Amino acid sequence: MGSPGAGGAAAVTRNQQSKRIAGGLTKVFIIAGYAVGLVIAASAQTPTETYQRAFPNSPDMIQTAVHTVQPLVRGRLPILDGFVVPQDQPLESYSRGYYECTLQVLPSGSGQTIVRAVAKVTAWYTDPEASRSGYRVLPSNGRLETDALDRVEEAVADLSVAGSSGAYSSSIKPAPDSPPTGGISPSSANPRALHDAVATPATNFSSSESIETIRSRREANEKKAIELASEEKNLEEILHNQARPTDLVAVKRNSTPIYAKPVEGAPVLMSADAHDEFQILGIEGTWVHVQISGASRGWMRRTQVSLPSGYGGVVAASAEPRVAGPIGSSPFKVEKEENTAFGGKWAALAGKNVRVVWVAPSSEPLTNAAQKKSFAKEMFLKVYSDQKTATPPIEGVVVLFDSADGGQVAATMASLQQLENGLIGPAFWKQCSLDPPDLFEDSSKTPAKSGERTN
């Protein structure tokens, strides 16, 4: 009696083990399926589609069409929304969008010629930390490639019409027993519709295809052509209405360095790519002073950039009204002003809206720390008086010294209110950002003028 009981217990134990193993395998399969689903979902978010179109025309004709279209499929993008795949950063952080479609002619073994379109979209990304700003490549969503292939298709149709009108009439045959007026003739269809009907392998005429099917296809193609033409016209109007700046310098080659100062061996702030554009702040000998982003600026060699046509080396007039500098023999003069986001690392103003004042040396070639502080204080008081009720409000003022030694002084509006109420001397400067600090130390490079207050 004991033996059968032991055997029964062993069978129960084996049963439980089998259930545990089956349950474990089920969990493994569920986890594996979930992982595969994540991989598929991730791959679906990455644009990997190849945009190409097959033509039953000779490679020579396709090459001619591509050569005609290539200059028309690159240029500025007035907006990025609708042309690129959104990334982690918002599209509002990008500007100066530019695109270029590369068209490749690939022979096919089936007697067809394939045209492949690859679009590259670049745009300037403005990061709250200026050192991370720069041009970035954004993935196209396929709209630019499709438009480029449509242009090639239209060019091929135009070439075919111009080459031989008889070729179309010989290729277009009405269905049997149908009236001669029921088909499509070159005089009643536009080149795009003719190309869709004749040149595309998937839409060639055949004796088994009805006239109604052909007419419906033609109407759909004509409707699409009208929509594309309307969209193109809208984009052209947007581009036409945009005011293109006349003070932009273009970089000639990739990996062009932008230096912190206009001297050999100065630290490199960043490297620019070919066709990148920067606003010109001024020209000093063989160097060009440029604005990188926000309050960040640098210097580039004049031989490595292309100046705008007719640029005479004078800082372009700002759209903002100029502020007159202090009257008298001031060592500095105001070049321009602008409200923008603070691009420095000072926590008190990081990412906030500030008034930036660019100043340059006037008639006196040498300046010292006391002169810079004195001029900065005068600018602070003047701008604070003008901007304390501005809309939208500003959070601070930045004075940038456009000279060989450079430097900038920043103050919050709260500190400037105290300055207006009589706070002077070291107590005020301790509330400011002096960058770099050694340029604003009390030791002066030139003796102070008689009677000049050194703060």
Over 23-92, what HEC string results? HHHHHHHHHHHHHHHHHHHHHHHCCCCCEEEEECCCHHHHHHHHHHHHHHCEEECCCCCCCECCCCCCHH
Does any domain span residue 313? no
Structural domain boundaries, residue 284:
248-306
For residues 24 and 396, the model is more confident at 396
The whole-number pLDDT of residue 203 equals 40
CATH of the domain at 292: 2.30.30.40
Identify the domain boundary among 163, 180, 204: 163
Does any domain span residue 38? no
Does any domain span residue 224? yes
pLDDT in tens, 83-105: 999 888 888 889 889 999 999 99
The whole-number pLDDT of residue 18 equals 53
Cis before 392 (ω within 30): yes
Least confident window among 12-16, 217-221, 329-333: 12-16
Cis before 262 (ω within 30): no
- Give the Cα separation of 343 and 10 in Å (integer): 75
284 with 345, same domain: the answer is no
Given pLDDT bands bounded at 50, 70 and 90, which one contains residue 439? Answer: confident
Mean pLDDT of the chain: 73
pLDDT in tens, 173-215: 444 444 444 444 433 444 444 344 434 444 444 444 567 787 7
Identify the domain boundary among 131, 163, 195: 163
For residues 443 and 414, the model is more confident at 414
The whole-number pLDDT of residue 258 equals 93
pTM: 0.32
Least confident window among 209-223, 232-246, 257-271, 273-287: 232-246
Per the CB < 8 A criterion, the answer to whether 286 and 303 are in contact is yes
The whole-number pLDDT of residue 199 equals 40
- As for how many domains the chain has, the answer is 4
Distance of CA 79 to the CA centre of its chain: 9
Given pLDDT bands bounded at 50, 70 and 90, which one contains residue 400? Answer: confident
The whole-number pLDDT of residue 101 equals 92
For residues 170 and 330, the model is more confident at 330
pLDDT in tens, 107-153: 777 778 899 999 999 998 888 888 788 888 999 999 999 999 999 99
The whole-number pLDDT of residue 122 equals 92
Does any domain span residue 454? no
402 with 388, same domain: the answer is yes
Contacts 24+ apart (CB under 8 A), 132-135: 133/292, 133/293, 133/294, 133/296, 133/343, 134/270, 134/272, 135/96, 135/272, 135/273, 135/276
CB-based contacts of 66: which residues, under 8 Å, 6+ apart?
103, 105, 115, 152, 155
pLDDT in tens, 22-55: 555 455 444 445 444 444 444 434 445 789 998 8
299 with 347, same domain: the answer is no
The whole-number pLDDT of residue 366 equals 57
Per the CB < 8 A criterion, the answer to whether 283 and 289 are in contact is yes
282: left (phi over 0), alpha (psi -120 to 50) or beta: left
235 with 262, same domain: the answer is no
- Give the Cα separation of 164 and 190 in Å (integer): 15
Parallel/antiparallel/unpaired status of strands 396-401 and 353-361: parallel
The whole-number pLDDT of residue 450 equals 39
236 with 269, same domain: the answer is no
- Whole-angstrom CA distances from 343 to 80, 106, 434 are 23, 47, 14
Per the CB < 8 A criterion, the answer to whether 130 and 295 are in contact is yes
The token pair that represents 236 in the structure block: 């052209």
The whole-number pLDDT of residue 323 equals 38
Mean pLDDT of 388-408: 83
pLDDT in tens, 317-364: 333 333 333 334 567 888 888 888 888 888 999 889 999 998 888 765
Identify the domain boundary among 122, 141, 163: 163
